[in-house]
Structure 1
Amino acid sequence: MPEDEKNPAAREVITDYAQAHFRYFRTVDGTVYAQRNGHPVARPMRSQGTAGSHRQELMVGLFNDGRGVFNGTAMKEALDLIEALALTQDVQPVHIRVAPGFDGATWLDLGRDDGQSVRIHPTGWDIRIPDPREVCWRRTQLTGELPIPAKDTDGKGIDLLMRLVNFSSAQSEGLALAWLVGCLGPDVPVPAPFLTGPQGAGKSTAGKMLLRIIEGMSADLRRPPKDEENLITAVAAGWITGLDNLSHLGPDLSDLMCCIVTGGENVKRALFTDGDVVRARYRRPLLLTGIDVGVIRPDLAERLLPLRLERPRVRRTEEELWAEFAESLPVILGSVLDLAVSVRAAQADIPTDLRMADFAHLCAQLDAARSLGALDSYRASLDDLNDDVIEGDLLAQTVLKHAAGNAPGTEVRMTSAEWLHGLTQLYTGDEFRPLPKGWPTTGKVLSDRLKRLQPVLAARGVLVDWGRTKAARYIEMTRPEPSQDEQEQLS
């Protein structure tokens, strides 16, 4: 039997040393973390990783300080006791890459061993080691290291970035900058950029560049996992998740992406237990690339940010391109941070007509700070996505065709079964063409489909509402009369 297991004093040495050199606390879900005194990085107590676990950190500290070599039962019993004591401590959250701070500040983890981070405030940004009680960083294998950002860039980094990325218009450039600034905010849901364009437009390269501004040079795009659990695991372990070369968005993946953008939670059984569970909360920025993903569901369309690219006129080698990007990254990051400061200091009204009001407000602040027309570009991008939804949904096209046959201000009220019959007759027409795959088969299915299409139809001037009389439930469709401004535009 090893000597440290025979001697109960070994456990006391480990416990005393750990409590003197580390701070232990728990998160809201009960996970216990260890944080070296004066250092912002926290490691989970139960981590069994082959590198970077708290157990290894403690063993190295004991050895380097001349306390001895401890392992086996003594180490396990000491850590079990420390973990039990930590469950009575105050609750504090841990964060990956981006975190809220005191006095309206936010923090960006540079992923450095020395713990240096960027504090972003409406009055400016600087580099410092955060107080461990203000910010606790959690690191994973997806946490890459960022360079020290350059100060006083005078916007040069933005010009460098736009020269490297082949955006097809100034509108896409402004929306990309709004998204980057949004990724530096821990509490603002941001829509997922969908980088699209012809073959050879450099979509994957542009996606990697946008990703690496926040996640470091080791970050990369990945293929979408084949199941929901693997995607949630990957999302929860990093800040920005980049999915490359999407060609199809099935209903399950589409719904999961909606949850990732606006926030969700996954609960699964803990390993080696019968009744315990593990909770994984996530709300993360997403980035997508692809030429075409087919039919886009309406709820996902409201959470996408199409960024269009064009084919470059002059081709460059990968080695040359990435060498220039790596050299420019400190200046690019510094300029993005400067932009974030000016956006947070700007005052702007909150748009109330858009689904993602926080991002719309950020676009309005960006316009107030730099006059990039980001809010108008965002509205235009949503209109384009609504067109994509309608073009891919025959039911939506049929509803709009029905509404076009009614005078403005007319209200049509029928049961869901009557609507199904009427819309089916309108679609098939005199030719009696076969119904397409996915056409509603019952009034309930029609009602559910219309609820998904309701925002898209409203954007095209058709209001759908549900109600009930004593006899039955009904669906009401209205084509409102155009406003005075719209009448002047038409005339």
Structure 2
Amino acid sequence: MPEDEKNPARQIITDYARDHFRYFRTTEGTVYAQKNGHPVARPIRSQGTTGSHRQELMVGLYNDGHGVFNGTALKEALDLIEALALSQDVQPTHIRVAPGFDGATWLDLGRDDGQSIRIHPTGWDILTPDPREVCWRRTQLTGELPLPSKDTDGKGIDALLRLCNLANAESECLAIAWLIGCLEPVVPVPAPFLTGPQGAGKSTAGRMLVRIIEGMTGDLRRAPKDEENLITAVAAGWVTALDNLSHLPPDLSDLMCCIVTGAESIKRALFTDGDVVRSRYRRPLLLTGIDVGVIRPDLAERLLPLRLVRPQVRRTEAELWAEYAPALPVILGSLLDLTVKVRATKADIPSDLRMADFAHLCAQLDAATGLSSLTAYRASLDDLNDDVIEGDLLAQTVLKHAATLNPGVEAQMTSTEWLHVLTQLYTGDDFRPLPKGWPTTGKVFSDRLKRLQPTLAARGVLVDWGRTKTARYIEMSRPFAPSPSEQQAAF
């Protein structure tokens, strides 16, 4: 063949790649490659241990008889493919859970053949999704799930509850509601906090709950010491489980709030001065620990305390997991059956709770099964409000002062005046010293009060901010207690 009729290596690679793979970009600008007919996508620049597109391209060329190509030819071909893909349609990639067409959602089983679970309004099926409907992204944290069992008649839920040492029916129904919420790709769910005495099996129960969604390789981990490492871990999986927490510093508390309800992190791209890397995350979060000390009010609204008790009969780890592993297909099948049933059930949306989507899910679960998960959720939030108040001397002092106010009468003062009144109330006649962290200026006091506003409102103390022509003020009041007939009408 004359020299001028030979195709350069980069042309052979490019033609082969475009014949066997689909290339697209995400909203962040990352270009992905997806083998024709397969739902798993890989970033073309990835060199990760889960397998890069460069590696699968090299293997495909070799197996199909095109030979082995050097790195320069591969780089030039991939550079061209990446440039061409930037003009293609934008499509998101998903880890583990994804929205589909016609109101369906998908659960990635983590299998090499791409088989996944499609949850739709009339049931669920095991299918290989259309690549244009769902693009799965895999990482080292993506474990394989077993094929779920059909027609379980709820036996899997019973088996799961037998294995976990949940203290009461309230914790059991909240755990079930959280698992159903984990299968919803766009709705935030509060973070279950598994608490109980030492030896109650909190870590084991946490692993069992996580592995229903993440497979048998899913595990708990220690909380990273900095925000960047935690965000990296969160972005690489679906459920993030942090074990044996004993203290929640303010930065970690704020970051957990962002993980539950969703946020975005931006950092400088490597080897550049002008480009950035965006990391969007909203993930189910699970925590375990005996006690984490003072809980900040904004995190309390995003927590779901699950109480555990020490088992009367001890079993070895080997015995527990020998029973759990073969039961996992039945547990997953029962969860999917219940999810379909709950999603098909209509219920009113509670309008008084911050996590309204999860509260609605609890109401649907109650209507579908006769459980009392919404009541249990309200009670858990009430307990968390008590924890916040018990750990905050300022909140206790505000409530003490509010008890002296007449119902329906609004007290207005500037933030500095309020701080002076409450400081005098705390120190009393014996002039006891102020505690560490007590506000020192009106501005600091106002900011602290804004964090406490929902907690105080739950205890019947309303706080609001306003402004006159000359100054800003803080208004505090106690509403009239509802009459017995009004209370009965509310229920």
Q: For residue 438 of structure 1, what is the aligned residue in structure 2? A: 437
Q: For residue 238 of structure 2, what is the aligned residue in structure 1? A: 239
- The whole-number CA distance in structure 2 between the counterparts of 1:170 and 1:446 is 40
Residue 188, structure 1, aligned to residue 221, structure 2: no
Alpha carbons 2:143, 2:215 under 8 Å: kept: yes
- Cα deviation digits, residues 25-44 of structure 1 (max 9, x gap): 00001000000000000000
- The whole-number CA distance in structure 2 between the counterparts of 1:154 and 1:58 is 45
Residue 206, structure 1, aligned to residue 205, structure 2: yes
- Cα deviation digits, residues 330-358 of structure 1 (max 9, x gap): 00000000110001100001110000000
- Cα deviation digits, residues 257-282 of structure 1 (max 9, x gap): 00000000000011111111100000
Secondary structure of the structure 2 residue equivalent to 1:265:
strand
Q: For residue 227 of structure 1, what is the aligned residue in structure 2? A: 226
Q: For residue 296 of structure 1, what is the aligned residue in structure 2? A: 295
- The whole-number CA distance in structure 2 between the counterparts of 1:155 and 1:315 is 26
Shift of 1:214: 0.1
Q: For residue 100 of structure 1, what is the aligned residue in structure 2? A: 99
> In 2 relative to 1, CA 312–366 (structure 1 residues): closer, same or farther, beyond 3 Å?
same
Q: For residue 80 of structure 2, what is the aligned residue in structure 1? A: 81
Q: How does 1:107-256 map to 2 (within 5 A)?
A: 107-256=106-255
- The whole-number CA distance in structure 2 between the counterparts of 1:408 and 1:61 is 76
Shift of 1:485: 3.0
Secondary structure of the structure 2 residue equivalent to 1:287:
strand
- The whole-number CA distance in structure 1 between the counterparts of 2:485 and 2:244 is 40
Which stretches of structure 1, 4 residues or longer, exceed 4 Å deviation after superposition?
A: 486-489
Q: Tell me the amino acid that sits aligned with residue 467 of structure 1.
A: G
- Cα deviation digits, residues 404-458 of structure 1 (max 9, x gap): 1122112110000000000000000011100000000000000000000000000
- Cα deviation digits, residues 139-172 of structure 1 (max 9, x gap): 0000000000000000000010000000000000
Q: Tell me the amino acid that sits aligned with residue 200 of structure 2.
A: A
> In 2 relative to 1, CA 486–468 (structure 1 residues): closer, same or farther, beyond 3 Å?
farther
Q: For residue 4 of structure 1, what is the aligned residue in structure 2? A: none
Q: Tell me the amino acid that sits aligned with residue 61 of structure 2.
A: L
- The whole-number CA distance in structure 2 between the counterparts of 1:485 and 1:434 is 43
Shift of 1:323: 1.2
- The whole-number CA distance in structure 2 between the counterparts of 1:224 and 1:178 is 25
- The whole-number CA distance in structure 2 between the counterparts of 1:390 and 1:181 is 31
Residue 14, structure 1, aligned to residue 29, structure 2: no
Q: Tell me the amino acid that sits aligned with residue 164 of structure 2.
A: V
Shift of 1:71: 2.5
Shift of 1:463: 0.1
Alpha carbons 2:405, 2:477 under 8 Å: kept: no
- The whole-number CA distance in structure 1 between the counterparts of 2:217 and 2:50 is 18
- The whole-number CA distance in structure 1 between the counterparts of 2:448 and 2:224 is 27
Name structure 1 gaps, 5 residues minimum: 1-6
Q: For residue 332 of structure 1, what is the aligned residue in structure 2? A: 331
- Cα deviation digits, residues 179-217 of structure 1 (max 9, x gap): 000000001100000000000000000000000000000
Alpha carbons 2:264, 2:281 under 8 Å: kept: yes
Residue 458, structure 1, aligned to residue 457, structure 2: yes
Alpha carbons 2:49, 2:140 under 8 Å: kept: no
- The whole-number CA distance in structure 2 between the counterparts of 1:233 and 1:106 is 25
Residue 308, structure 1, aligned to residue 297, structure 2: no
Q: For residue 36 of structure 1, what is the aligned residue in structure 2? A: 35
Q: For residue 3 of structure 1, what is the aligned residue in structure 2? A: none
- The whole-number CA distance in structure 1 between the counterparts of 2:76 and 2:405 is 77
Q: Tell me the amino acid that sits aligned with residue 65 of structure 1.
A: D
- The whole-number CA distance in structure 2 between the counterparts of 1:275 and 1:13 is 34
Shift of 1:8: 5.6
Secondary structure of the structure 1 residue equivalent to 2:157:
helix
Q: For residue 3 of structure 2, what is the aligned residue in structure 1? A: none
Shift of 1:57: 0.3
Q: Tell me the amino acid that sits aligned with residue 475 of structure 2.
A: E
Q: Tell me the amino acid that sits aligned with residue 39 of structure 1.
A: H
Q: How does 1:371-450 map to 2 (within 5 A)?
A: 371-450=370-449
- Cα deviation digits, residues 356-384 of structure 1 (max 9, x gap): 00000000010111111111110000000
- The whole-number CA distance in structure 2 between the counterparts of 1:381 and 1:121 is 31
C-alpha RMSD over aligned residues = 1.0
> In 2 relative to 1, CA 214–50 (structure 1 residues): closer, same or farther, beyond 3 Å?
closer
- The whole-number CA distance in structure 1 between the counterparts of 2:408 and 2:152 is 55
- The whole-number CA distance in structure 2 between the counterparts of 1:29 and 1:59 is 26
Q: Tell me the amino acid that sits aligned with residue 150 of structure 2.
A: K
Alpha carbons 2:157, 2:331 under 8 Å: kept: yes
Q: Tell me the amino acid that sits aligned with residue 259 of structure 1.
A: C
Alpha carbons 2:50, 2:139 under 8 Å: kept: no
Q: Tell me the amino acid that sits aligned with residue 432 of structure 2.
A: R
Q: Tell me the amino acid that sits aligned with residue 117 of structure 1.
A: S
Question: So what's the TM-score if we normalise by structure 2?
Answer: 0.97
- The whole-number CA distance in structure 2 between the counterparts of 1:451 and 1:52 is 48
Secondary structure of the structure 2 residue equivalent to 1:431:
coil
- Cα deviation digits, residues 299-341 of structure 1 (max 9, x gap): 0000000000000011111111111110100000000001100
> In 2 relative to 1, CA 51–71 (structure 1 residues): closer, same or farther, beyond 3 Å?
farther
